[in-house]
Amino acid sequence: MSDVIETTPGWLTPGELELARARMPIVYVEAVPVRVDESGQVTRIGLLLRIAPDGTVSRALVSGRVLHHERVRDALLRHLEKDLGPVALPLIPASPQPFTVAEYFPTPGVTPYHDPRQHAVALAYIVPVAGDCRPRQDALDLVWFSPQEAASPLVQQEMPGGQGVLLKQALAHVGCLP
Amino acid sequence: MSDVIETTPGWLTPGELELARARMPIVYVEAVPVRVDESGQVTRIGLLLRIAPDGTVSRALVSGRVLHHERVRDALLRHLEKDLGPVALPLIPASPQPFTVAEYFPTPGVTPYHDPRQHAVALAYIVPVAGDCRPRQDALDLVWFSPQEAASPLVQQEMPGGQGVLLKQALAHVGCLP
Amino acid sequence: MSDVIETTPGWLTPGELELARARMPIVYVEAVPVRVDESGQVTRIGLLLRIAPDGTVSRALVSGRVLHHERVRDALLRHLEKDLGPVALPLIPASPQPFTVAEYFPTPGVTPYHDPRQHAVALAYIVPVAGDCRPRQDALDLVWFSPQEAASPLVQQEMPGGQGVLLKQALAHVGCLP
Amino acid sequence: MSDVIETTPGWLTPGELELARARMPIVYVEAVPVRVDESGQVTRIGLLLRIAPDGTVSRALVSGRVLHHERVRDALLRHLEKDLGPVALPLIPASPQPFTVAEYFPTPGVTPYHDPRQHAVALAYIVPVAGDCRPRQDALDLVWFSPQEAASPLVQQEMPGGQGVLLKQALAHVGCLP
Compute the nearest-CA separation of A40 from chain B (Å): 5
pLDDT per residue as tens digits for the range A8-40: 444 567 777 777 777 899 999 999 999 999 999
Nearest to D150 by CA among D62, D44, D56: D44
Residue C30 · residue C61 · CB < 8 Å:
yes
Q: What is the pLDDT of residues A105-143, one digit of tens each?
A: 999 999 999 999 999 999 999 999 999 998 876 667 899
> Is D24 in CB contact (< 8 Å) with chain B?
yes
> Given CB atoms, is C69 within the 8 Å cutoff of chain A?
yes
Rounded to a whole number of angstroms, the distance from the CA of B86 to the nearest CA of chain C is: 32
Please choose, from the candidates B162, B163, B165, the residue with its C-alpha nearest in 3D space to the C-alpha of residue B177. Answer: B165
Q: Is A104 left (phi over 0), alpha (psi -120 to 50) or beta?
A: beta
CB-count exposure of residue B103 (10 Å: 0-12, 13-18, 19+): buried
**Interchain proximity C39–D99, CB inside 8 Å:** no
Picking from A95, A99, A126, the nearest residue to B173 by CB comes out as: A95
pLDDT attached to residue A135: 82
Count C/D contacts: CB-CB distance under 8 Å: 71
% of chain A with per-residue pLDDT over 70: 92
pLDDT for position A11? 59
Of D100, D165, D177, the CB nearest to A168: D177
Separation CA B56–CA D76 (nearest Å): 39
Residues 99-128 on C with a CB inside 8 Å of B are: 100, 111-112
Is A95 close to B36, i.e. CB distance below 8 A?
A: no
Q: Give A169's contacts in chain D (Cβ within 8 Å).
A: 172-173, 175, 177
Average pLDDT of chain D is: 90
Question: Going by C-beta distance under 8 Å and a sequence separation of 6 or more, which residues neighbour residue D141?
Answer: D48, D49, D135
Tell me: pLDDT of D8 over 60. Answer: no
Q: Which residues of A touch D168 (CB under 8 A)?
A: 172, 177
- With contact defined as 3+ CB pairs under 8 Å, the chains touching A are B, C, D
What number of other Cβ atoms are within 10 A of residue A36's Cβ? 21
Rg of chain C taking only CA atoms, in angstroms: 16
Radius of gyration of chain B (CA): 16
Distance CA B8, CA B6 (A): 6
D131 contact C CB<8A: no
Q: What are phi and psi of A7, to 5 degrees?
A: -125, 25
Q: Is the Cβ of A76 closer than 8 Å to some Cβ of chain C?
A: no
User: How far is Cα C23 from Cα A21, in angstroms, rounded to an integer?
Assistant: 12
Q: Do A22 and C107 touch (CB under 8 A)?
A: no
DSSP states of C154-173: HHHTT-GGGHHHHHHHHHHH
Residue D16: pLDDT band with limits 50, 70, 90:
confident
> In sequence order, what are the residues at sequence separation of 6 or more whose Cβ sits closer than 8 angstroms to the Cβ of residue D93?
C40, D73, D125, D126, D127
Q: State yes or no: pLDDT of D42 exceeds 50.
A: yes
The pLDDT score that the predictor gives to residue C53 is: 82
Cβ-based contacts under 8 A for chains A and B: 70
pTM of the model: 0.93
Q: Is D53 helix (H, G, I), strand (E, B) or coil?
A: coil
Query: D140: how many CB neighbours lie within 10 A of its CB?
Result: 12
C12 chain-A contacts, CB cut-off 8 A: 23-24
Residue A55: pLDDT band with limits 50, 70, 90:
confident
CB-based contact C24 A67, cutoff 8 Å: yes
State the chains in contact with C (3 or more Cβ–Cβ pairs under 8 Å): A, B, D
In the predicted model, what is the mean pLDDT of chain A? Answer: 90
Task: Give the helix/strand (H/E) hosting A153.
Answer: helix A153-156
C-alpha to C-alpha distance for A156 and A166, rounded to whole angstroms: 10
Interface contact C24-A97, CB threshold 8 A: no
Least confident interval from A52-56, B86-90, C128-132, D136-140: D136-140
Residues of C in contact with B165 (CB under 8 A): 177
Q: Write the ipTM.
A: 0.91
- All residues of chain C having their beta carbon less than 8 Å from the beta carbon of residue D74 are 39
Residue B178: the pLDDT is: 86
Paired residues of D105 in beta bridges:
D114
Query: Which residue is closest to D99 within chain B, CA to CA?
Result: B97
In chain D, which residue's Cα lies nearest the Cα of A174? D100
d(CA A85, CA A135): 6
Mean pLDDT of A63-91: 96
Mean pLDDT of the D80-102 span? 96
Residues of chain C with pLDDT below 50 are 1-10
Cα separation, C62 vs C60, in Å, equals 7
Check CB contact of B5 with chain D, cutoff 8 Å. Answer: no
How far is residue A23's CA from residue A7's CA, in Å, rounded to a whole number?
Answer: 19
* Distance (Å) from the alpha carbon of C164 to chain B's nearest alpha carbon: 10
Q: Looking at the partner chain, which of C23, C69, C101 has a beta carbon nearest the beta carbon of A12?
A: C23
Distance CA A49, CA A61 (A): 9
Of the candidates D90, A166, C112, the residue with the CA atom closest to the CA atom of residue B176:
C112
Residue-level pLDDT at A138? 62
Q: Do D40 and C91 touch (CB under 8 A)?
A: yes
Which residue of A lies nearest to B42 if distances are taken between CA atoms? A94
- B74, B67 in Cβ contact below 8 A? no
The terminus-to-terminus CA distance of chain D in angstroms comes to: 25
Greatest Cα pair distance, chain B, in angstroms, is 47
Identify which of B112, B165, B172 has the shortest CB distance to residue C168.
B172
| pLDDT surpasses 90 at D138 | no
* Helix, strand, coil distribution of chain D in percent, nearest 5: 25, 30, 45
Cα gap C103→C100, rounded to integer Å: 10
SS (H, E, C) chain B: CCCCCCCCCCCCCHHHHHHHHHHCCEEEEEEEEEEECCCCCEEEEEEEEEECCCCCEEEECEEEECCCCCCHHHHHHHHHHHHHCCCCCECCCCCCCCCEEEEEECCCCCCCEECCCCCEEEEEEEEEECCCCCCCCCCCEEEEECHHHHCCHHHHCCCHHHHHHHHHHHHHHCCCCC
- Which chain D residues contact residue C126 at CB under 8 A? 94-95
Strands (E), A37-132: 42-51, 57-60, 62-65, 100-105, 113-114, 120-128
* A66 close to C (CB below 8 A): yes
Measured between beta carbons, the chain C residues lying within 8 angstroms of B111 are 175
Nearest CA in chain A to C66: A25
Report, as ranges of residue numbers, the positions in chain B whose pLDDT lies below 70: 1-12, 137-139
The pLDDT score that the predictor gives to residue C9 is 41
Distance from C-alpha of D38 to C-alpha of D80, rounded to nearest angstrom: 22
Contact assignment for A27 to C68 by CB distance below 8 Å: no
Does residue D17 carry a pLDDT above 80? no
Cα–Cα distance for residue pair D33/A95, rounded to 1 Å:
28
Per mean pLDDT, which range of A51-55, B144-148, D169-173 is the poorest?
Answer: A51-55
* C-beta of residue B79 within 8 angstroms of C-beta of residue B29: yes
Q: Residue type at B21? A: R
Which residues of A are less than 8 Å from D173 in CB distance?
Answer: 100, 169, 172-173
CA-CA-CA-CA torsion sign (B31, B37, B41, B44) = negative
